[in-house]
Chains A and B, each alone.
Chain A
């Protein structure tokens, strides 16, 4: 589904991605973790070409994402993305946030777009809030709307860029719950997150990044079950993150 092949990226002299290679198969949930500044958010944004790359290749299905001949807008319409800061459109109601792209990009009729929007709002438990504006919702509610907005496009895969990092702790659960539901429904997901509980519970594979490179890429069982076999850098990160989570 998503194939990342020897991808490198530089900001001027500084290399932010170093020869990254991995893949996310159809129906697979892959968690990308690592310390801040490790390049994980940059990596996930190269998948739908919000960030450019200087070397390597990314395939979505059989389409080369960064090929100049690729229609990137059409390609992005088939991959949902959820951002750390929700990025709902503040001048539009919740319903209009969900109906904009299906109408303008997929040329769906208003009634069709509205029916789908209401169905997904119901799924994330926010059907009663359709007429509100984003500023009237809590962070957790906004992020659930953002997930519903992405789902309205019937994406083939979903990218999550630290979806719970900007949330108050008591709101993390409601967002993770929606994501777990998606995973159980067989959605292909690439998730940048520090939520190790989520990773352990639903992901099939875990990728650990540090300083722009992929240090670990293994099954979830292996990642958490056999810490001694992990690189030293991974062990340090894990002990910090896990310690924080049990505390």
Chain B
């Protein structure tokens, strides 16, 4: 029998969503939020380290970023999940493992965005801030970083959309995310094709809506400038 020709959509109900999908959706969104906020925070730290006048700081940050950007995310997820319990002597849950790994991984990518954001603010601005007596830290906090972040918001959001898609990689360690929710439902109803179709649709709707929002935001800013 050709299953694809006999789609059964009768089980697309609130019960399906509530019993299987909701939990996964919440986890995927939480993971995206934690990793993007944490990634921006630590990424800013890394970007500032790379501009530091202290050599070991520059080298440490550059090494970290380059290593993280050279390995596949799924490998980092697996390594962390398997190695850390070995090192600390007790198992670490799949959820916690995902939060930490994604934050650490995204920090490397966000740091490159922050770095170019910082570069987009001219040295004249730093000089003007310094000439007024602001310390290095104050110049960064009140003059350079606000402008840098304003310039980078569209790229940060685009990276966050990619991050949301990447959260599906936690399947490797068995965490219950959005995709896992669909997969579980598919097994339960014995209808994997219909369920994966719906999964694709849900990912598409969320990501497309977000990218349209970014586009609208960018356009609005260009209009205002």
**Proximity bits, A97-113, B CB within 8 Å = 1, else 0:** 00011001110000000
For the complex, count residues of A whose C-beta is within 8 A of B. 27
A91 touches B134 (CB 8 A): no
| A87: Cβ under 8 A from any B Cβ | yes
Chain B: which residue is nearest A102 at the CB level? B132
| A236: Cβ under 8 A from any B Cβ | no
A104 touches B138 (CB 8 A): yes
A89 touches B130 (CB 8 A): no
B133 touches A76 (CB 8 A): yes
A50 touches B133 (CB 8 A): no
B135 touches A73 (CB 8 A): yes
Chain A: which residue is nearest B224 at the CB level? A135
Chain A: which residue is nearest B150 at the CB level? A91
**Proximity bits, B112-141, A CB within 8 Å = 1, else 0:** 000000000000110111111111101000
Contact of B133 among A83, A85, A101, A135 (CB under 8 A): A101
B131 touches A48 (CB 8 A): yes
Q: How far, in whole Å, are A100 and B146 apart by their CA atoms in the complex?
A: 14
| A74: Cβ under 8 A from any B Cβ | yes
A50 touches B125 (CB 8 A): no
Known contacts A90-B147, A135-B225; A104 and B131 CB within 8 A of each other: no
| B142: Cβ under 8 A from any A Cβ | yes
| B143: Cβ under 8 A from any A Cβ | yes
Scan residues 146-193 of chain A and give those whose CB is less than 8 A from a CB of chain B. 149-150, 153
Q: How far, in whole Å, are A78 and B131 apart by their CA atoms in the complex?
A: 9
Do most interface residues of chain B lie in helix, strand or loop, or is the interface mixed? helix
B131 touches A50 (CB 8 A): yes
| A77: Cβ under 8 A from any B Cβ | yes
* B136 surroundings in chain A (CB, below 8 A): 73
Q: How far, in whole Å, are A153 and B130 apart by their CA atoms in the complex?
A: 13
* A238 surroundings in chain B (CB, below 8 A): none
For the complex, count residues of B whose C-beta is within 8 A of A. 19
* A105 surroundings in chain B (CB, below 8 A): 132-134, 138
Chain B: which residue is nearest A135 at the CB level? B225
B110, chain A: closest CB distance, angstroms: 21
Q: How far, in whole Å, are A121 and B225 apart by their CA atoms in the complex?
A: 24
A44, chain B: closest CB distance, angstroms: 11
A91 touches B147 (CB 8 A): yes
Contact of B132 among A45, A76, A85, A135 (CB under 8 A): A76
Chain A: which residue is nearest B128 at the CB level? A87
Known contacts A83-B124, A104-B138, A135-B225; A76 and B131 CB within 8 A of each other: yes
A87 touches B132 (CB 8 A): no
B143 touches A89 (CB 8 A): yes
Q: How far, in whole Å, are A73 and B138 apart by their CA atoms in the complex?
A: 10
B131 touches A81 (CB 8 A): yes
A73 touches B130 (CB 8 A): yes
B128 touches A83 (CB 8 A): yes
Known contacts A100-B142, A104-B142, A135-B225; A87 and B124 CB within 8 A of each other: yes
B223, chain A: closest CB distance, angstroms: 13
Scan residues 130-174 of chain B and give those whose CB is less than 8 A from a CB of chain A. 130-136, 138, 142-143, 146-147, 150
Known contacts A87-B125, A87-B128, A91-B146; A104 and B134 CB within 8 A of each other: yes
Interface residues of B (CB under 8 A from A): 124-125, 127-136, 138, 142-143, 146-147, 150, 225
Interface residues of A (CB under 8 A from B): 45, 48, 50, 73-74, 76-81, 83, 85, 87-91, 100-101, 104-106, 135, 149-150, 153
16 contacts between A and B (CB under 8 A): A45-B127, A73-B134, A79-B131, A83-B127, A87-B124, A89-B128, A89-B129, A89-B143, A89-B147, A91-B147, A100-B142, A100-B143, A101-B134, A104-B142, A153-B132, A153-B133
- A-B residue pairs, 6 tightest by C-beta: A77-B133, A87-B128, A101-B132, A81-B131, A105-B133, A87-B124
- With A73-B135, A83-B124 known, 16 other A-B pairs at CB within 8 A are A50-B131, A73-B133, A73-B134, A79-B131, A81-B128, A81-B131, A83-B128, A83-B131, A87-B128, A91-B147, A100-B143, A101-B133, A105-B138, A149-B132, A150-B132, A153-B132
